[in-house]
Structure 1
Amino acid sequence: MVTSKAKTESKPSFVSTQVTDARRYFLDLTPDEEKPITIVCGGRERVSKDYVVRRTTFPYLCVEFVAEGHGSVELNHKKYPLRPGAVFAYMPNIAHCIRTSSTDPMLKYYIDFTGSEGAKLLRESSLRGDRAIYVSNPEEFVGLFEMFLKEGMSGETHGQDLCAALLPVLFLKLSQRAMPGNVRQPRAYFTYLEARDFIEKEFRKYDTIEEVAEELLTNPASLCRLFRRFGETTPYRLLIRLKIQEAASMLVDQQMMVKEIAAELGFADQFHFSRVFKRVYGLSPEKFSRQSQWST
Structure 2
Amino acid sequence: MNLVNPRTFNPEIIYLFDPWTQSESHGDMHHHDFLEISILLEGESNYHFNQEPAKKIRAGSVMLFNPGVDHCEFQLPGTRSHQLHIGLKNISLEGFTRNVFPNKHPLLDLGQYHHQVLEKAWQLVKESNEERDEFQLIQKALLIEMLVYILRGLNDEDSNVVPYLSKSQQRQQKIVNYTIYYLENHYKEEITLEKLAQDQFLSPTYLSKIFKEATGMSPINYLIEIRLKRAKDMLKNDQLTIKEVASAVGYQDAYHFSKSFKKLYGISPSGILPKFKH
Fold-level match, TM-score > 0.5?
A: no
* TM-score interval, normalised by the smaller of the two chains: 0.3 to 0.5
TM-score, with structure 2 as normaliser: 0.45
TM-score, with structure 1 as normaliser: 0.42
Hey, which of these two has a bigger chunk of strand by percent?
1
Specify the structure having the higher radius of gyration (Cα). 1
Structure of greater relative contact order (alpha carbons < 8 Å, 6+ residues apart): 2
